[in-house]
Chains A and B, each alone.
Chain A
Amino acid sequence: MDNQKIVVILLLITILLSIFSVVLTFTTNFGGSKTVEKINNQGPSSGQVSFKIIPESERGTTE
């Protein structure tokens, strides 16, 4: 009878340790997973501002 109680206690300890181990395994493997958000810039993201200053020698033809 005493031996049976010991067996029951040992089995309970085993179950608790197993549950603890499973929880640890899940938190170790899945708790560290990350969600990474990235931005992909697509298409042209540059514009241009341009002009030309006409040389004085050429201004007579433009005026």
Chain B
Amino acid sequence: MDEQLSGGVTNVLMVVAVIAVVVSVFGVISTLNLRGSGFASSSPGNVTLEIQQVIELNFTRNLINWSSGFVNTSCGTSALLDTNNTVNPIICGQGWVPQTTGLILTTLGSSLPIAINLSSNQNASTLIDAGGSLSSAFRWKVQEYNITGGAEPLTCDATLTPLAYTDIVANQNVKICNQTQYAVDRNELRIDFQVNISQFAPAQTGYRTAIITATGFLP
């Protein structure tokens, strides 16, 4: 009697086990199909984590204005205005106001290393020569900066460029830093400008302005 009962229970268990195996196999096949299709198997369980790093990339000194002036032809055939020359910030120019500090670009808010692009909407021809070619020049260079006067070493890694004055190409992104190395005391870059104005550069009633734009992005 007990053996018959035990045999019956075992048979029932076997049927249950077979059903369980079939269900499991079906589950595995179903999961594999979903995996192969690229679809999420269930939307509530599909997690996409997005971390937004907020970086403030600001020009804390955002204006260089030499004001109004002209080439002193009794001195030379062109005037040189240079934000990185404290001794002779203006050579052979008259009326322009000397500028002895370039634009200051400051990164704040994150220690995330970023690359920085710089662009200008003008080149020498469009900014100074009214579209012509009168041997005028519009150049920039970058350096690490500290408001106390000294350099802030390692604001950028070894890729900081251009370190010497380089002619500006209009509307071209120039990667001035491949990777910042942020710290509170090393987060500033200085961008200096040199403008060489030919005596033949056309005078204007209004100001000539170049917009310099800095863009940060992940390297």
Per-residue interface assignment for chain A, residues 24 to 38, with 1 indicating a CB less than 8 Å from any chain B CB and 0 otherwise: 110111101111111
B169 CB within 8 Å of chain A: no
Per-residue interface assignment for chain B, residues 197 to 209, with 1 indicating a CB less than 8 Å from any chain A CB and 0 otherwise: 1000111111111
B24 CB within 8 Å of chain A: yes
Residue of A at shortest CB range from B17? A10
Contacting residues, chain B, for A34 (C-beta < 8 A): 48-50
How close is A63's CB to chain B, nearest CB, in angstroms?
Answer: 7
Q: Is the CB of B56 within 8 A of A42?
A: yes
Q: Is the CB of B211 within 8 A of A28?
A: no
Contacting residues, chain A, for B31 (C-beta < 8 A): 21, 24-25, 28
How many of chain A's residues touch chain B, expressed as a range? 35 or more
Q: Is the CB of A46 within 8 A of B14?
A: no
Chain A interface, DSSP helix/strand/loop, else mixed: mixed
Contact of A63 among B7, B24, B94 (CB under 8 A): B94
Per-residue interface assignment for chain B, residues 61 to 74, with 1 indicating a CB less than 8 Å from any chain A CB and 0 otherwise: 11111111110000
Bound-state Cα–Cα, A27 to B218, Å: 28
Contact of B58 among A24, A30, A36, A44 (CB under 8 A): A44
How close is B65's CB to chain A, nearest CB, in angstroms?
Answer: 5
Per-residue interface assignment for chain B, residues 1 to 16, with 1 indicating a CB less than 8 Å from any chain A CB and 0 otherwise: 0000001001101100
How close is A43's CB to chain B, nearest CB, in angstroms?
Answer: 5
Per-residue interface assignment for chain A, residues 1 to 18, with 1 indicating a CB less than 8 Å from any chain B CB and 0 otherwise: 001101100110110011
Bound-state Cα–Cα, A45 to B58, Å: 5
How close is A23's CB to chain B, nearest CB, in angstroms?
Answer: 9
Instruction: List 18 contacting pairs A-B, 8 Å CB cutoff, sorted by A.
Output: A4-B10, A13-B24, A18-B27, A21-B28, A27-B35, A29-B46, A33-B48, A38-B53, A39-B217, A41-B55, A42-B56, A43-B56, A44-B59, A44-B62, A47-B61, A47-B64, A47-B191, A53-B68
Sorted nearest first, the 8 A-B pairs with minimum C-beta distance are: A10-B17, A17-B24, A55-B203, A51-B66, A50-B209, A47-B62, A47-B59, A47-B103
